[in-house]
Amino acid sequence: MSISVRMVRTGTVRVRTTGRPQPAGRPVPLRRLRLLLARRWTEAMPIAAFVVEHPEGRILFDMGEYPGVGQRGFFPRWQLGARIGFDFRIRPAVDDGLGAWLRAQDAESARPVRAIVLSHLHHDHTGALTDFPDVPVYVGREHWETYRSRLRAEAEAVVPRHWPRGFVPRFLEPTGPAVGPWPHTYPVTADGRVFAVDTPGHMPGHVSLVVRGDEVTYLLAGDAAYTLDELDAEVPDGFSADPRGAVESLRKIKEFARQEDVVVLPSHDPRAAARLANFEIYRPTQGPGPSAD
């Protein structure tokens, strides 16, 4: 069986324009305040999940958005950032979530899901968790230790109230070899062709997934960058918990892309689906853009 990647759109999101890149040197509280006060919106961006087909079994990377995200009371009242900084659009019967999408596919899609890997725990990456109650879910250990507290999680636009009852993930283990700029990797498959790498910044413990497919190598970037333009310019998004750490992660992704041909697919890039369909190799620029510092 071949190794391939499919992208599933689970709705769209617009963010305040200051939610897209802000200079890394701006303090986090000021970045967050600007996110809340901006009046203009970006264009609609996809909310993507990814399905990795592998001989050892199907692997899901991120779970997309909850179909009920637009319902009253989805977010706690005090989660202002999530409630007013983002505009989610979920179309019934079209953007019904990753679980519904898989059930609607052909018989081949009935293959069991072997594992779920989450880049991070933001609600637009955990939307279908309840659809797969018996599948092991993997996150970075640092990420879970940071956000296992409900109060801390909700302060960062995580919504534990919508996790499966008793949800406790498994941890990715750094037992894989060095790859590119990363001193260790987190194996997901026994053959070493699917593994996670550290890309913190957007949130502590954020990871991306590398898939060495039959046609090309993919890097599923989660929210390490919203778009390839922002990756190229080395500027983090306005919600990043550690902007300077985010810049370092962007630079490592670019270094990896200089060392080998790779298709880089951020979860919210409007052009990600086209890049995936066309096996479009990412060619990084040589340095940061003017707003990176």
Looking at residue 288, its pLDDT comes to 56
The full set of domains in the chain, from first to last, is 4-277 (3.60.15.10)
Which residue has better confidence, 61 or 148? 61
95-138 confidence digits (pLDDT tens): 667 887 887 775 555 678 999 999 999 999 999 998 898 999 99
79 pLDDT exceeds 90?
A: no
DSSP E strands in the chain: the ranges are 4-15, 45-53, 58-61, 86-89, 113-117, 137-139, 170-171, 186-187, 194-198, 207-212, 217-222, 262-266
- DSSP per residue over 244-280, as a string? HHHHHHHHHHHHHHHHS-EEEEETT-TTHHHHHHTT-
As given in the structure block, the two tokens for residue 236 are 């983090």
pLDDT tens digits along 39-72: 899 999 999 999 999 999 999 999 999 988 888 8
In which element (H, E) is residue 103 found?
helix 98-104
SS3 12: strand
3-state DSSP call for residue 242?
coil
pTM: 0.92
Give the model's confidence band at 291: pLDDT under 50 very low, under 70 low, under 90 confident, else very high. very low
